Structure 1
Amino acid sequence: MQAAVFGENLHRLQQLLNEVRAEDLHLVPRGPAAVPGAGCSRAGAGAGAVPPVSYMHICETESFSMGVFLLRSGACIPLHDHPGMNGMLKVLYGSLRIACLDPLPPAAPPGARRRALLRSRQLCTPASPPCLLSPHTDNLHQIDAVDGPAAFLDILAPPYDPENGRDCHYYRLLEASAGPAADPHALPREVWLVETPQAADFWCGGEPYPGPKVSP
Structure 2
Amino acid sequence: MAGRLKSIIVNLNGLLKHKHHENFKLSSDEVQTIRNNLKGISSDELGICNFKLNEELCSSTRADISYLKVCSNGQIFDLGVFALKKDCRMPMHNHHGMYGVVKVLFGSGRIQSFSPIRETQEHFSIDDIVDAEIVEDMSVSAKEGSNLMHLEPNSGNIHAITADKNSPLVFLDLLMPPYDHLNYTVSYFELVSTGECRKKCKLKVIPEPTDYRCDQLDYAAVIQDNPSFEN
- Alignment deviations for residues 166-212 of structure 1 (CA, whole Å, 9 cap, x no partner): x3211011112x3xxx36xx4xx111111111101111001113473
Structure 1 segments unaligned to the other structure (5+ residues): 36-47
Of 20, 26, 36, 2:47 maps to 26
Partner residue in 2 for 1:97: 110
Partner residue in 1 for 2:11: none
Instruction: Determine which structure has the larger helix proportion and give its number.
Output: 2
Output the amino acid matched with 2:130.
R
* Alpha-carbon distance between aligned partners in 2 of 1:16 and 1:25, rounded to the nearest angstrom: 14
Output the amino acid matched with 1:26.
G
Structure 2 segments unaligned to the other structure (5+ residues): 1-18, 20-25
Number of equivalenced pairs = 190
- Alignment deviations for residues 109-130 of structure 1 (CA, whole Å, 9 cap, x no partner): 4322221111220111112252
Partner residue in 2 for 1:175: 193
Secondary structure class of the residue paired with 2:154: coil
- Normalising by structure 2, what TM-score? 0.73
Partner residue in 1 for 2:213: 203
Task: Give the CA deviation at 1:50.
Answer: 2.3
* Alpha-carbon distance between aligned partners in 1 of 2:68 and 2:167, rounded to the nearest angstrom: 19
Of 51, 58, 65, 1:53 maps to 65
After superposition, the Cα gap between the structure-2 partners of 1:202 and 1:19, relative to the gap in structure 1 and judged at 3 Å, is: same
- Alignment deviations for residues 128-158 of structure 1 (CA, whole Å, 9 cap, x no partner): 2521100000000000001311200000000
Task: Give the CA deviation at 1:33.
Answer: 6.9
C-alpha contact 1:32 1:73 (8 A) present in aligned 2 = no
* Alpha-carbon distance between aligned partners in 2 of 1:201 and 1:49, rounded to the nearest angstrom: 14
* RMSD value, Cα: 2.6
Q: Percent identity among equivalent residues?
A: 26
Quick check: 1:138 aligned with 2:168?
no
* Alpha-carbon distance between aligned partners in 2 of 1:152 and 1:57, rounded to the nearest angstrom: 12
Quick check: 1:12 aligned with 2:33?
yes
C-alpha contact 1:100 1:120 (8 A) present in aligned 2 = yes
